[in-house]
């Protein structure tokens, strides 16, 4: 677990330690970055890949990282 936290910090994720555990401190992606990623997926067709389904799954993941805020 600790190594994973160190890896995330090394990658630039804003991780903070609280009495209840480790949490992200702020947003991992800006709204503009999320919109850019979604546009890339939706405008690039790939044979054998359902880009609509991929975009839907990715949107929910990215939105979780956008919405997460520092608690305290």
What's the pLDDT score for residue 67? 58
- Residue at 72 is within a domain: no
What's the pLDDT score for residue 9? 81
Output the pTM of the full model.
Answer: 0.48
What's the pLDDT score for residue 71? 42
What's the pLDDT score for residue 25? 73
Task: State the residue range of the domain holding 9.
Answer: 2-67
Closest CA to 28 of 70, 71, 68: 68
Number of separate domains in the chain: 1
Closest CA to 55 of 68, 28, 46: 46
What's the pLDDT score for residue 2? 62
The pLDDT averaged over each successive group of 10 residues in the chain (72 residues) is 75 81 73 84 83 84 64 41
User: String of b and e for 47-71 (b: at least 16 CB within 10 Å)?
Assistant: eeeeeeeeeeeeeeebeeeeeeeee
């Amino acid at each position: 677990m600790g190594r994973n936290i160190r890896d995330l910090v090394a990658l630039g994720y804003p991780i903070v330690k609280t009495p209840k555990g480790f949490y992200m401190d702020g947003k991992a992606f800006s709204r503009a970055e999320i919109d850019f990623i979604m546009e890339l997926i939706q405008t690039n067709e790939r044979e054998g890949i359902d880009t609509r389904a991929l975009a839907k799954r990715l949107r929910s993941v990215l939105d979780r990282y956008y919405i997460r805020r520092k608690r305290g």
